[in-house]
Structure 1
Amino acid sequence: MIESIKILSGTAHRDFAEQIAKHLNVVIGKCDCTKFSNGETSVIIAESIRSKDVYIVQPTCSPNVNDNIMELLVLIDAVKRASANQVTAVIPYYGYGKQNKKERSREPITGKLIANMLETAGVNRVISMDLEASQIQGFFNIPVDNLYAEPLIVKYIEKHIKGERVVISPAVDGVKRAKLVADKLNCDLAILDRQTKDESVDDMLLVGDVTDKIAVIIGSVADTCDTLALAAKVLKRRGASKVYALVSHGELSGNAIETLNASELEELVITNSIPTMSKLEQSPKIKVINVAPMFAEAIRRIVHGESVTAHSSKFVIL
């Protein structure tokens, strides 16, 4: 049945798509994604995909978030018009995921808008990982498989971070994610929270004891790294012996690399849901967990009608 599928990739993260195809033992499909001179997106599918189940791999990440989203939409439309059977958008990182609710008057819910656009384009299913909020799945009227990096993160900690550990949530709204990891590691949980939105205030409230322990920060996205750097500074000041951070997605935008290199973090561990090669060359503190095999296994299970739940625990961190 695997022979009936076709893996296509946009330009956002072709290496990730190639890894998925390799694990499924299929050849990645031929498609050309370019831009016209006026900036419009051009997509040509260079082989027959009639009656195939097509999986389009495209994280909607920086530095060209809007271009990546538009390219994904055009790819979906091209595939539908080429008589594909089913179209699945494989979105390792779901852009605009932070904009998932209204916190002020006259504010958009852009995460919902992206879901509407994908459905209008004709997608039949979405596979993503560690969505910023669980309600994003409810933005869609089609199946959404939200994979979790947490089992792989736990395995990484067990193998590479030895000693008495305490898991840290860098914000109150991340406590649930951090507690899952703390429970798996059978260690204490502590919470950090910034008491003011004024980023010039160089302090955070710590609930819990980190004295002489290895602090392991668990988060969802590392963007500017300002919060992670401040958290590491506060934790060291409160007695932590070492501070590590493990997050699902490494956006690392703006001056993130400089902030990370100057911080008191020992390591920042991210997944390869977003292209990272250029960032790795700029900071020895960045380590990467490969989640492509997890996505490949999810696709295989969908093709064979098997459960996708919790399959990521089978993969070994090297």
Structure 2
Amino acid sequence: MNKEELNELLHPMKLIGLSGNPALNEKIASILGQPLIETAVHHFSDGEIQVNIGESVRGCDVFVIQSIQDPINENFMELEIVLDALHRASAHNVNVVIPYLAYSRSDTKTRSREPITAKLVANLLQITGMDRLIALDLHASQIQGFYNVPVDHLHAMPLLAQYFLDNGIAVKGDDDIVVVSPDHSGAKLARNFGQYFDAPIAIVDQRGARYDTEVHDMIGDVKDKKCIIVDDLIDTGSRIASSTKSVLAAGATKVYVAATHALLSKDATEVLNGLPVEQIVVTDTIKHKRYPDRMVRISVDQLLARGIDYVYNDRSIHQIFDEQNRLK
């Protein structure tokens, strides 16, 4: 009997998919060949949440998949209640898989009397008995340090880069491509993304405390270039709108957008539909009923399923990173 067979015998894998993104949960379960545990979630008339887990998890390694998306607080509380239930049901290990972790933008204190909500979320998740977190493209990598349990931080940007390469939009070494950061804080992400194409970067000199949809100066040369605006998430679309207008005003020929998380809050769909962009390439970490017209969604199901499989079988996650880096 090998190590994996022994592990399956002693601590069987169990998957729970919660309400945040059921379609992604099902795809991950299908790849792993594991059915999702039947979990009944009931909302009382006053807003309270009741959760019933449909089978025994005693001694099992449980992976709970929950994208903390809109409605954020309901989905987060649902996750917390399930973690408490698993802890009380004597699960061997409780691993939380969060394709999109809300409140990650509040990762530092920038003014007086301001909370660090990302740290609060980390504390709450750990209080309810979480043994490990598997996350995808956190807004800030240092959020991993808020946790006293192991954090496996997976990256979807290589999947987006592969899409541009596979479809001939970008060719490695082609000096026709420039990767654009919507602001100064995203320069590191733009640099990392640009390495997949050996492309230079440019930065939109976005000024002011809040993002707007106006034209701003550019740092870097985008004249007569094909631009890929890259960000970790798209919320209201105002930052993408400003960046698109800015690069076009600076002489760019075509504009593409790449982002991991498509929050699409408020009237983001209408804002993005009104932009002269070729394509907006995102992942399926967040599920919506309606998407912008030129949006392409790349699934992260294989990536998250591999992460779960590697954790369960005590394999090094670094192997995934090595394979992704070969795209460069």
CA shift in 2, pair 1:201/1:7, >3 Å: closer
CA distance in 2 between counterparts of 1:272 and 1:173 reads 24
CA distance in 2 between counterparts of 1:193 and 1:34 reads 47
Q: Deviations over 1:99-155 (max 9, x none)?
A: 000000110000000000000011100001111111110111000111011211211
Q: Deviations over 1:22-76 (max 9, x none)?
A: 11111111111121122101100011111110000001112x1011110000010
Count of aligned pairs: 312
Matched, 1:194 2:206: yes
Q: 1:308 aligns with which of 302, 307, 317?
A: 317
Aligned twin of 2:124: 117
Residues 1-318 of structure 1: matches in 2 within 5 Å? 1=4, 3=8, 4-62=12-70, 64-160=71-167, 161-162=169-170, 164-197=176-209, 199=211, 202-276=214-288, 278-280=289-291, 283-309=292-318, 311=320
Tell me how far 1:201 sits from its aligned partner: 7.4
- C-alpha contact 2:213 2:242 (8 A) present in aligned 1: no
Structure 2 residue identity aligned to 1:91? I
- Match of 2:195, SS state, is helix
Tell me how far 1:310 sits from its aligned partner: 5.4
- Match of 1:173, SS state, is helix
- C-alpha contact 1:152 1:313 (8 A) present in aligned 2: no
Unmatched 5+ stretches in structure 2: none
CA distance in 1 between counterparts of 2:195 and 2:216 reads 24
CA distance in 1 between counterparts of 2:212 and 2:187 reads 24
Structure 1 residue identity aligned to 2:30? K
After TM superposition, which residue ranges in structure 1, 4 or more long, deviate above 3 angstroms? 198-201, 312-315
Structure 2 residue identity aligned to 1:146? H
CA distance in 2 between counterparts of 1:290 and 1:232 reads 25
Identity of aligned residues (%): 36
- C-alpha contact 1:152 1:312 (8 A) present in aligned 2: no
CA distance in 1 between counterparts of 2:164 and 2:264 reads 21
Unmatched 5+ stretches in structure 1: none
- C-alpha contact 1:89 1:125 (8 A) present in aligned 2: yes
- C-alpha contact 2:38 2:54 (8 A) present in aligned 1: yes
Tell me how far 1:181 sits from its aligned partner: 1.4
